Amino acid sequence: MTESSNGASYARMNFTKRASGLLSFTARAFSVNRDAKKARYFNGVQSVTSNKSQAANLQNILPVDLSVTPPSPEKVVKPSKLKSFTYKELSVATREFHADSLLGEGGFGCVHKGWVDKNTFAAAEWGTGLAVAVKKFSQNSMQGHQEWSTEIKYLGALCHPNLVKLIGYCLEGEHRLIVYEFMPQGSLEKHIYRRDPSCQPLSWNLRISVALDVAKGLAYLHSPEVNVIFRDLKTSNIVIDSNYKAKLTDFGMARDGPENESTHVSTRVMGTYGYLSPEYMATGHLTMKNDVYIFGVVLLEMLTGRKAFDRTLPTKEQDLVSWATPNLTSKHRISHVMDANIKGQYTTRAALTLSSLALKCLSVDPKSRPDTKEVVKALEQLQEQEKLGKHHM
């Protein structure tokens, strides 16, 4: 077993012992994103409450900023290149937000499929024009208002092949909506955990391709010119288009990276349990290396077909990192944790190569983790080797 795998397991177990009550609550609170009915497509960050009185009670328990004042219209930055929709237009585009158009639900609202004109973006007849995904934020979610504004701030300004395209928004009264490009293959979560019977498991080669796409998206965000920490990477926030190109979505928790001489951003701990890095959970210090750690967790999910945290499993197997890491460096044991859906599609050497990258990303010491450019390079090399058939049993 490598030092990184030992360290990753130890750090997570040690933190759990010191904060078992909090983490137990967090796991229950954020488990809503594991509900198949509520996580079929674009999952927003999982809210633990939709009631102001509940928010007040939870403020002293959960390290999540629930006391957010909704931004006023005049304070919201609205990029001119985005389409400003009226609520009526989006109601027409989604057939009055009909249940048949529902793509998924999350803590801060729901996502519906809609149709707009390809040129003008005006509401179109159902099934004609351009398909879009319309994210409707809950009006009684305080944090939802903040996330709406944050998504527009980042996705309205950023452009990259591996970031979902933001088409427009609606800011009308209490209504807060965002319109994205429609991603026909839905989320990575659907394909890994088969939440939708119509979704086929991703092949080994497609998993490498998706991982590379995600790494490229993160590398763009982490570049000095952009300097953004995504913070909420998870399988439900990775969406796939008709050509199986993966893109990052849901920027509601993104933050500007540290500037000048700063080494980190201090913030309340927010996110989904199972994906949070040990140092971020313990200190609230946020760096680009937190995204790298989470990427390591996502790699494990794609390797094993298991969730980052699964309360339905025996206690010792619930936390994916703790369960999987002891088996990832042995050619004799790695097959025991690999997803059965890709059996026979990979060589042991290729599996060990990808698991080794995951372990590096999961290093307890953030400084020991690779940066996202290095991750991209490693995945490109693995993909090229797989194409050339250089690996042998």
Whether 17 contacts 371, CB under 8 Å: no
Letter string b/e over residues 119-134, b meaning 16 or more CB atoms within 10 A of that residue's CB: eebebbebeebbbbbb
232 in active site: yes
Q: Which of 35, 65, 100, 232 does the annotation list as catalytic? A: 232
> Please, which residues have CB within 8 angstroms of residue 383's CB and are 6 or more apart in sequence?
205, 208, 209, 212
CA dist 383 and 109 (Å) reads: 37
Both ends of the chain: CA-CA distance in Å?
22
Q: Which residue has the tokens 């599996």?
A: 351
For residue 292, give both structure tokens: 């790298």
Strands 265-266 and 285-286: antiparallel
Describe the crossing of helices 288-304 and 348-361 by its angle, rounded to 10 degrees: 150
390 is in an annotated binding site: no
List strand residue ranges (DSSP E) for 6-97, in order.
83-84
Describe the crossing of helices 372-388 and 348-361 by its angle, rounded to 10 degrees: 180
Reported as type and span, the H/E element at residue 170 is: strand 166-172
> Please, which residues have CB within 8 angstroms of residue 12's CB and are 6 or more apart in sequence?
278, 319, 321, 322
Write out the binding residues for ATP. Answer: 136
Write out the binding residues. Answer: 136
Instruction: Catalogue the active-site residues.
Output: 232
